[in-house]
Structure 1
Amino acid sequence: MIIDLSDDQKEIHESVTRICRDFDDHYWTTADEEARFPEEFYRAMADNGWLGITMPEELGGANLGVTEAAIMMHAVASSGGGQAAASSLHINLFGPHAIVVHGTPEQKKRWLTPLIEGREKACFGVTEPDAGLDTTSIKTFARRVNDGYVVNGRKMWTSTGQEAHKILLLTRTVPKEECKKPTDGMTLFYTDLDRTKVEVKRIKKLGRAAVDSNAVFIEDLHIPDEDRVGEEGRGFHYLLDSLNPERVLVGIEAVGIGRDALNRAAKYAVDRTVFGRPIGMNQGIQHPLAEAWTALEAAYWMCMRAAYLYDAGKPCGAEANAAKFLSARAGFDATTKAVLAHGGMGYAKEYQVERLFRESLLPRIAPVTEQMILSFIGEKVLGMPKSY
């Protein structure tokens, strides 16, 4: 068995890396400090066809798999842009997958083509302030009317809501207490983000300021029938098509951020001289960085294993969750060690590792916590009783 990238996959990594080189540390520092969406980077990736890497070929996409998307996003995250660069793109890769699988031909053409071309941006309206990871307990409700639905409710941590033209919105159409199973009675929509009916309020946060996160308040938003994805009441099941790819991509982005920070620390350890010798000669500096490399390497291949299984149509829930778990921890550990290797300058914005450190915490929390992953593996893999 050969564990390696094909020539075509290596070319994906190299081509994306070449685009990323046009956006230097100053660009990403400025975007972070000004909390400004990286529009120029987004546009460059769209113009070179990368927003459609997983989309149908007949719509202008490349029709490639999650494996190739993961390679692309690793290149993006490891090239200096970190979470800001990755988050500006990755909803295009996992968010619309329910549309790719369950949308009608007319919906795919109407919705996916503008995403692929970069003419429209989308946001993901699933999480709610009172439900959190307990998605079946969402309360945003779509009430049936003659020509569609009227929606009221709240969403939380909706990324790119300030920039988005569309929202992929999960609602209840039947109250949870009236359903046979808690996963029933939820309906998925992809519709205009009508700001006369939807207030999108930016959340100030620790890192990744360039890509906004928001609290969303929906009041009497009308959604026509043609903007419903699939059947009424099947929305949660459609959403599952996006979850495993999302875990793989978030994981491999964490690896990319960790590798970027690690490379910066290794270079600093060679260049920085104290007491007449490079600090990289000291095992107190060298060993922690070497250990971080081993964890990042293992996490990377766990991500690739999960992506391979998904693309092959095989069960991959455990592997995708494990990939996200291992990668988030490895990335956070690497950025932490990178800051410490820089000493006092690790706390300064000049060397970038403080920005990468702040951003590396996010994959440990989102889109699913470490505790939920461990509970899933304990129950589904090890056969223990459900713990929550």
Structure 2
Amino acid sequence: MTALIGIAVVLVAFLVLAYKRAPLWLTSLVVLAGLGYCIAVQGAHWGWGAGALAVLAVLNLKPLRRAIVTGPLFSVFKKITPPMSQTEQEAIDAGTVWWDRDLFSGKPDYNKLHSYPAPKLTAEEEAFLNGPTETLCQMLDDWQITQETKDLPPEVWQFIKDNGFLGMIIKKQFGGKEFSNYAHARVVTKIATRSGSAAVTVMVPNSLGPGELLQHYGTDAQKNYYLPRLAKGLDIPCFALTSPEAGSDAGGIPDYGIVCRGSYTDPRTGEKHDNVLGMRVTWEKRYITLGPVATVLGLAFKLYDPEHLLGDKEDIGITCALIPTNHEGVSIGRRHYPGTATFQNGPNWGKDVFIPMDWIIGGKDYVGQGWRMLVECLSVGRCISLPAMSVASGKLASYTTGAYARIRNQFGMSIGKFEGVDEALGRIGGFTYQMDAAQRLALTALDLGEKPSVLSGILKYHNTERMRKTINDAMDVHAGKAVCTGPRNYLALGYGAIPVAITVEGANILTRSMIIFGQGAIRCHPFVLKEMRAAMGNDGKAFDDAVIGHIGFTVSNAVRALVLGATGAKLAGGGKSGPTAQYYRDITRLSSAFAFLADMGMASLGGSLKFKEKLSARLGDMLSNLYIATASLKKFEDDGAPKEDLPLLRWAVETALFDCQEAMNGFLANHPSGALAWLMRRVVFPFGQSYKPASDRTGTAVAKLLMEPSASRDRLVHYMYRSKDENDAVGVLEHALKAVIETEALEGKLRSAQRKGQLAGITAQDKLDDARSKGLINDIEFAAVQRARRLKREVIMVDDFDPQLAMADSGAIHRKVI
């Protein structure tokens, strides 16, 4: 019995060391010492020690370990590791990992998280948001843009050009604004709360496009010519990547160029050049934003050199070039019609168009480097453009739906007080908090010089999906108000444009099922990329170091997941004290569980996991929700940890933790090996699934925050354009909300008087007049109720049109019959 107790002590010591991630040599010494004590003092059988000594010798002596364990494993690994295409390799190598690596570690460092600076605008950036951006928003009429003119008005186009909106990312030395990524995103967010079409027009030249590529890779001559023109709007850029036969599979684009010598006339100068080295390019592109109005075309194509004019290589690879759109042979097509978002978008094509070598972005030195260039820039743009528009949709939905739910009455009370509406409001506010927090943290990474490729995928998918859910809820609450389109409907146009955000920059299905975890597992995991590179380089020694570290990492996370699961994460440290302390502990627990499940998934399924998209998608959901939870906590602390924001934080974090748990449950329930899944479940959920979604009480608290003016509500919708005009469909909401709140007690008093039979008359106006005449309310109160009812009517009214639905009746809003 005493020997068994001694062995139990050794086992506990091993678990402690594994939990603490002690090095292999230290763990081995402790285990040997413990077993030695059990044999010598407690009378344990010497076979225990001999067996342990043999195992530990194999693990610690590298030559022996490589001969017996990692060498044979290396041979198998090389066979089962799927080959990586050039585009996959370049995508893996592109960008950087950041906080996502900590989440993949199973042991996030929260001190590191909170050491990252809170994002802030400079005085110049703040002035731009409050000045030109505010003015631009005032100029925008989204109904006119999308339904009547199908384009931005000429004066708006000119204002955008003249005020540098197209050059926010361009350095000042070239005439640009050189704004931070945070400022860039906030400008897009503010414009998007007014007009999606205008926001797209501004964001595209500042994200993935010639300007970004030129700054990073362009030759001096290219930079000096194009960047000042792009910054001033003298040139309008577009970038042509997507082909009819190849959408998300950029490596499969059929567009090609053949290196040759030829002649051309430069449309910029009119000069003719003969017998110059260049290429004849043939392409067909579609979905090209700003394509119909662009003056300079960024083009991606595969370059071939059959005559070896550049070197020995014939298949050079994807290459990017800049071509003036008035160059001979370039065909700019008409326009696509992307739903209710009528930004300029269309196809273009060309056949055997000769362009010189110096039109390649970066010149001759960058032939074949196009895909790497694109994915590095894409990781930046995907963190900014669409996530910013998603945040804008959340802010607009929170602001308008909260106000509308308080203003609109049914059965004698605000509809926001009905629990069904209250539930939808809670989701709207909570998702908006999550979206804003997730992007803010990623923007911090960008402004610190990172290019977070994995986080960009998380943002693209999860922010646009939350945008979809948020607008759907807002539409439900507004009901008929949101169904009848017209100048006064501030939701329907955004609702119609949802598919654009969901599909562009990679369809969401692809992003979730293949990219987030597929790229995250390789880039963020501390050992997987090392193992893959060792296999590709046939480096057995490097593989040995990586795989033994990987095994220890997996064992440690298994122990940590089990211990933290069994103790309710009470042993986890780090984070902040107070009301958020348990959240940090829970995230640590789930981070360890996620890292363990990821390793077990890769170990049990090998290269086939790449094709098990439903499973890899769930692993991606785990990582994503851990990121969203930590980003929400970071936002809360950066905002000064205001107590009044706790309902929003609780909803955001608790929902993310629950969603992470559900992804784990789905992974385990659908793993091909039932026995292994059972074992993993015992480790990850030793006492079952304990996380619950945000409570009804929390959702109600969020709903209340949206339904009345407050500092918390202002923080949630910060950087939204808020018109002060009572004649504006959105602007009237704040006036009506304040008026309704101020007269709620008076309206209650009037209803009470009516129930008691104290008021005469048929209509509401008759009864209000009678209340004043009888002295139940004074003249000031009468005027306040009158004004509140007028503003309420303006909020709930919808547009009506002529029989051809061509022109809305602007006077209908003031029509009063009863």
State the match for 2:317 in structure 1: 185
Deviation at 1:92, TM superposition (A): 1.6
Structure 2 unmatched runs, 5+ = 1-113, 262-275, 306-312, 523-601, 614-818
**Which of 184, 191, 203 is 1:90 aligned to?**
203
Q: Residues 275 and 196 from structure 1, CA distance in 2 versus in 1: closer, same or farther, beyond 3 angstroms?
A: farther
**Does the alignment pair 1:121 with 2:236?**
yes
- The alpha-carbon distance between structure 1 residues 53 and 203, as it changes in their structure 2 partners (threshold 3 A), is closer
Q: Which residue of 1 aligns with 2:134?
A: 18
Q: Is the 8 A contact 2:291 2:332 kept in 1?
A: no
Moved more, 32-41 or 364-373: 32-41
Q: Is the alpha carbon distance of 1:270 and 1:195 closer, same or farther for their aligned partners in structure 2, counting shifts above 3 Å?
A: farther
The aligned runs of 1:51-62 (5 Å cut-off) are 51-62=166-177
Q: Which has the higher strand share?
A: 1
1:93 shift after superposition: 0.9
Match of 1:178 in 2: none
Q: Does 1:299 align with 2:299?
A: no
Contact 2:237 2:290 in 1 (8 A): yes
Q: Which runs of 5+ in 1 are unaligned?
A: 176-180
**Aligned-residue offset at 1:240:** 2.1
The separation in 2 between residues aligned to 1:67 and 1:118, in whole angstroms, is: 22
- Aligned-partner SS, 2:326: coil
What corresponds to 1:360 in structure 2? Answer: 498
Matched, 1:373 2:511: yes
SS class of match (1:145): strand
Helix, strand or coil at the partner of 2:429 = helix
Distance change (3 Å), C-alpha of 1:196 and 1:285? farther
The answer on 1:29 being equivalent to 2:29 is no
SS of match in other structure, 2:497: helix
Paired residues of 1:16 and 1:76 also in contact (CA < 8 A): no
1:244 alignment partner in structure 2: 379
State which drifts further: 288-297 or 132-141: 288-297
Which of 127-136 and 354-363 deviates more?
354-363
| Structure 1 residues 327 and 47, CA gap change in structure 2 (3 angstroms) | same
Q: Give the equivalent residue in structure 2 for 1:287.
A: 423
Give me the whole-angstrom Cα distance separating, in 2, the residues matched to 1:7 and 1:216.
40
Q: Distance in 1 between matches of 2:195 and 2:175?
A: 26
Change (3 A) 1:363 1:237: same
Choose the corresponding residue for 1:144, options 243, 259, 271: 259
Measure the CA separation in 2 of the matches of 1:325 and 1:332.
Answer: 11
Secondary structure of the residue aligned to 2:243 is coil
2:294 is paired with a residue whose SS is coil
Give 1:168's aligned residue: 298
Aligned pair count reads 378
Contact preservation (8 Å) 1:12, 1:71: no
Aligned 8 A contact 1:42 1:88 in 2: no
Per the alignment, do residues 125 and 325 of structure 1 end up closer, same or farther by CA in structure 2, a change over 3 Å counting? same
- Contact 1:265–1:342 (CA under 8 A) maintained in structure 2: yes
Structure 2 match to 1:77: 192
Aligned to 2:407: 271
Distance 1:348 1:191, change over 3 A: same
Highest RCO, 1 vs 2 (Cα 8 Å, sep ≥ 6): 1
1:63: how far off? Answer: 2.1
Distance 1:297 1:43, change over 3 A: farther
Q: Which range is displaced more, 116-125 or 145-154?
A: 145-154
Measured after TM superposition, the shift of residue 18 of structure 1 is 1.4
| Post-superposition offset of 1:7 | 5.6
- Deviation digits for residues 295-343 of structure 1, max 9, x if unmatched? 1221122112222223323351111111111210121111111111111
Tell me, in whole angstroms, the C-alpha distance in 1 between the residues paired with 2:230 and 2:259.
28
Amino acid at match of 1:347: V
Counterpart in the other structure of 1:347: 483
Question: Following the alignment from structure 1 to structure 2, what is the Cα–Cα distance between the partners of residues 315 and 204?
Answer: 32
1:116 Cα deviation after fit: 0.8
Check whether the contact 1:318–1:381 (CA below 8 A) recurs between aligned residues.
yes
RMSD: 2.4
**Alpha-carbon separation, structure 2, partners of 1:307 and 1:150:** 40
The alpha carbon displacement at 1:278 in A equals: 2.3
- Kindly provide the amino acid, as one letter, of the partner of residue 240 in structure 1: V
Quote the offset at 1:4 in angstroms.
Answer: 5.1
Deviations 1:213-237 (A, max 9, x none): 2222222323222211122111111
Deviation of 1:39 after TM superposition, in Å, equals 4.0
Q: Does 1:313 align with 2:313?
A: no
How far does residue 346 in structure 1 lie from its aligned partner after superposition? Answer: 0.8
Instruction: Work out the percentage of aligned pairs sharing the same amino acid.
Output: 19
Q: Counterpart of 1:89 in structure 2: which amino acid?
A: V
Alpha-carbon spacing, 1:14–1:301, altered in 2? closer, same or farther (3 Å) = farther
Rg larger in 1 or in 2? 2
The answer to whether the aligner puts 1:200 opposite 2:313 as a matched pair is no
Deviation (angstroms), 1:262:
3.1
The answer to which of 37-46 and 361-370 deviates more is 37-46
Aligned-pair CA distance for 1:126: 0.3
Measured in 2, the distance between the counterparts of 1:162 and 1:264 equals: 34
Aligned AA (1:159): T
Specify the SS of the correspondent of 2:334.
Answer: strand
1:293 maps to a residue whose letter is G
Residue in structure 2 matched with residue 213 of structure 1 by the alignment: 345
Amino acid of the structure 1 residue aligned with 2:181: V
CA distance in 2 between partners of 1:371 and 1:122 (Å):
29
1:355 deviation in Å?
A: 0.4
Q: Kindly tell me: are residues 206 and 315 of structure 1, through their superposed partners in 2, closer, same or farther at Cα, counting changes over 3 Å?
A: closer
TM-score, normalised with respect to structure 2: 0.44
Paired letter, 1:328: T
Cα 1:196/1:286, change in 2 over 3 Å:
farther
CA offsets 1:116-171 (integer angstroms, 9 cap, x no match): 11122111100111111000111111222323222112111111111111111001
1:157 aligns with 2:271: no
Shift of 1:91: 1.9
1:112 counterpart = 2:248: no
Query: Could you tell me how far apart the structure 2 residues matched to 1:359 and 1:288 are?
Result: 21
The whole-number CA distance in structure 1 between the counterparts of 2:335 and 2:119 is: 42
Contact conserved, 2:397 with 2:428, CA < 8 A, in 1? no
- Distance, in Å, in 1 between the alignment partners of 2:481 and 2:257 is 52
**Per-residue deviation, 1:38:** 4.6
The residue type paired with residue 222 of structure 2 is Q
* CA displacement, residues 19-62 of structure 1 (integer Å, 9 cap, x when unaligned): 233224xx211110132245433432332233222111111112
Taking the aligned partners of 1:62 and 1:246, their CA distance within structure 2 comes to: 17
Query: Do the aligned partners of 2:299 and 2:321 also contact (CA within 8 Å) in 1?
Result: yes
Which residue matches 2:808?
none
Contact 2:137–2:191 (8 Å) recurs in 1: no
TM-score by length of 1: 0.90
* Residue pair 2:398, 2:425 contacting (<8 A) in 1 also: yes
